[in-house]
């Protein structure tokens, strides 16, 4: 009989955010496949003081153990742009969670990333950024030797066919810190990008939200409340049937990569132009000879994704 595979070690780098919160819950609900070494918060959807506290709230809600670290409070070279218009004032509007009792780890999130990658055997730690790439790029700048030790970076960010959501040309996570995104894409690490092209197909439905509520658990109620709140924005903006659960796609890809498909392509980041700042120039049609630096996902099996989410979230 073959031995079961050990769980994959990951660091979740995040700016919760309702969809970040669901991603964290999905990871913590899946200990057979995923070991969360730590959660590093970054400024993004809302300022750092809120994202780090929100990350602790979500961990506490899950009832599973995880350490939370605060990372960078602003992009590498720019002023912070936030998205309260999508996520609400708290970043987690839609469910009232108590002030977390879980203490914030004293170590800086960037130091945690560096130290973890230096301590764990090379090629055994996957980074899962769900927000602007500031923490990851700062870690790479501080200790360039860690890049070669990363197993993979699976990130939510960018767009090609969908182009942009925060500007006509750029997706939020990349737009907020384009210089950081450029460092990550040039790092030589294996990168899997989960762009809007995939996540705009990961739409919630009234049925699924009702199913979450019917779990009659604190997690079910919170997820239903968050997604109810969060989807309003996209339904009004795109006229879509539901709201996109962007960040859970990153964790779902680790659990069930067969739910997704994409292409190995070259992706460059626009950092110069004011008009198209943060654009992910994705060579989907391979019209250049620039070498591939990312697996760029385009399709997701929506039913399979939501079945996975339902099954896992019901465990918490
Ligand atoms: C990304 O931006 C944030 O608003 C979401 O949490 C997601 O990570 C989508 O553009
Ligand atoms: Ca996010």
Q: Quick one: pLDDT at residue 231?
A: 81
**Which residues, in sequence order, are bridge partners of residue 281?**
268
Closest atom, ligand 1, to C-alpha of 19: 6
Mean pLDDT of 273-286: 97
Q: CB of 171 closer than 6 A to ligand 1?
A: yes
Rounded to the nearest angstrom, the distance between the alpha carbon of 16 and the centre of ligand 2 is 6
Q: What integer best gives the mean pLDDT of the chain?
A: 96
Going by C-alpha positions, the residue among 53, 86, 304, 66 that lies closest to residue 202 is 304
77 assigned to active site: no
As to burial, measured by CB atoms within 10 angstroms (0-12 exposed, 13-18 middle, 19+ buried), residue 145 is: exposed
Mutate to test the pocket of ligand 1, among 41, 75, 156, 251 (most ligand atoms within 8 A of CB): 156
What are the pLDDT digits (tens) for 73-83?
A: 999 999 999 99
Q: CB of 17 closer than 6 A to ligand 1?
A: yes
Rounded to the nearest angstrom, the distance between the alpha carbon of 73 and the centre of ligand 2 is 15
Has residue 118 got a pLDDT over 80?
Answer: yes
Q: What percent of the chain has pLDDT over 90?
A: 94
Residue nearest to atom 4 of ligand 1 (CA): 45
Has residue 112 got a pLDDT over 80?
Answer: yes
Has residue 70 got a pLDDT over 90?
Answer: yes
Between CA 264 and CA 29 the distance in angstroms is 30
Indicate the pLDDT class of residue 210, thresholds 50, 70 and 90: very high
Closest atom, ligand 1, to C-alpha of 166: 10
Rounded to the nearest angstrom, the distance between the alpha carbon of 149 and the centre of ligand 1 is 27
Rounded to the nearest angstrom, the distance between the alpha carbon of 131 and the centre of ligand 2 is 4
Indicate the pLDDT class of residue 64, thresholds 50, 70 and 90: very high
Has residue 1 got a pLDDT over 70?
Answer: no
Q: Quick one: pLDDT at residue 18?
A: 97
Q: CB of 26 closer than 6 A to ligand 1?
A: no
Q: CB of 19 closer than 6 A to ligand 1?
A: yes
Q: Quick one: pLDDT at residue 3?
A: 77
More confident residue, 298 or 233: 298
Q: Count CB atoms within 10 A of the CB of residue 198.
A: 26
Closest atom, ligand 1, to C-alpha of 165: 10
Give the homologous superfamily in CATH for domain 8-313. Ribonucleoside hydrolase-like (3.90.245.10)
Q: Quick one: pLDDT at residue 139?
A: 98
Mean pLDDT of 164-191: 98
**Cα separations in angstroms, 15 against 92, 102, 146, 216, 262:** 10, 17, 23, 27, 25
Instruction: Show Cβ contacts of residue 257 under 8 Å, excluding neighbours closer than 6 positions.
Output: none
Indicate the pLDDT class of residue 126, thresholds 50, 70 and 90: very high
What are the pLDDT digits (tens) for 246-275?
A: 999 999 999 999 999 999 999 999 999 999
Q: Quick one: pLDDT at residue 232?
A: 79
What are the pLDDT digits (tens) for 16-32?
A: 999 999 999 999 999 99
More confident residue, 4 or 107: 107
Kind of pairing between the strands at 150-156 and 125-129: parallel
Q: Quick one: pLDDT at residue 4?
A: 79
Indicate the pLDDT class of residue 39, thresholds 50, 70 and 90: very high
């Amino acid at each position: 009989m073959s031995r079961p595979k050990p769980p994959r070690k990951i660091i979740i780098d995040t700016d919760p955010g309702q969809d970040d919160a669901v991603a964290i819950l999905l990871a913590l609900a899946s200990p057979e496949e995923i070991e969360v070494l730590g959660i590093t918060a970054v400024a993004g959807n809302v300022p750092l003081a809120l994202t780090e506290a929100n990350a602790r709230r979500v961990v506490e809600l899950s009832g599973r153990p995880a350490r939370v670290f605060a990372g960078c409070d602003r992009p590498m070279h720019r002023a912070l742009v936030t998205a309260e218009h999508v996520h609400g004032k708290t970043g987690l509007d839609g469910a009232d969670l108590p002030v977390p009792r879980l203490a914030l780890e004293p170590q800086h999130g960037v130091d945690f990333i560096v130290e973890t990658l230096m301590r764990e055997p090379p090629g055994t730690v996957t980074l899962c950024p769900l927000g602007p790439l500031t923490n990851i790029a700062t870690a790479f700048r501080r200790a360039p030797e860690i890049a070669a030790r990363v197993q993979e970076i699976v990130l939510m960010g960018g767009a090609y066919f969908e182009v942009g959501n925060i500007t006509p040309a750029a997706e939020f996570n990349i737009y907020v810190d384009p210089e950081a995104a450029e460092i990550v894409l040039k790092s030589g690490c294996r990168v899997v990008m989960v762009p809007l092209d995939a996540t705009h197909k990961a739409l919630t439905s009234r049925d699924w939200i009702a199913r979450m509520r019917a779990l009659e658990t604190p997690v079910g109620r919170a997820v239903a409340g968050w997604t109810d709140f969060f989807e309003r924005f996209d339904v009004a903006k795109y006229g879509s049937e539901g709201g996109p659960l962007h960040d859970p796609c990153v964790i779902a890809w680790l659990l069930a990569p067969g739910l997704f498909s994409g292409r190995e392509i070259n992706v460059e980041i626009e950092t110069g132009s004011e008009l198209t700042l943060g654009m992910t120039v994705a060579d989907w049609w391979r019209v250049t000879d620039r070498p591939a630096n990312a697996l760029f996902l385009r399709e997701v099996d929506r039913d399979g994704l939501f079945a996975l989410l339902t099954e896992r979230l019901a465990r918490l």
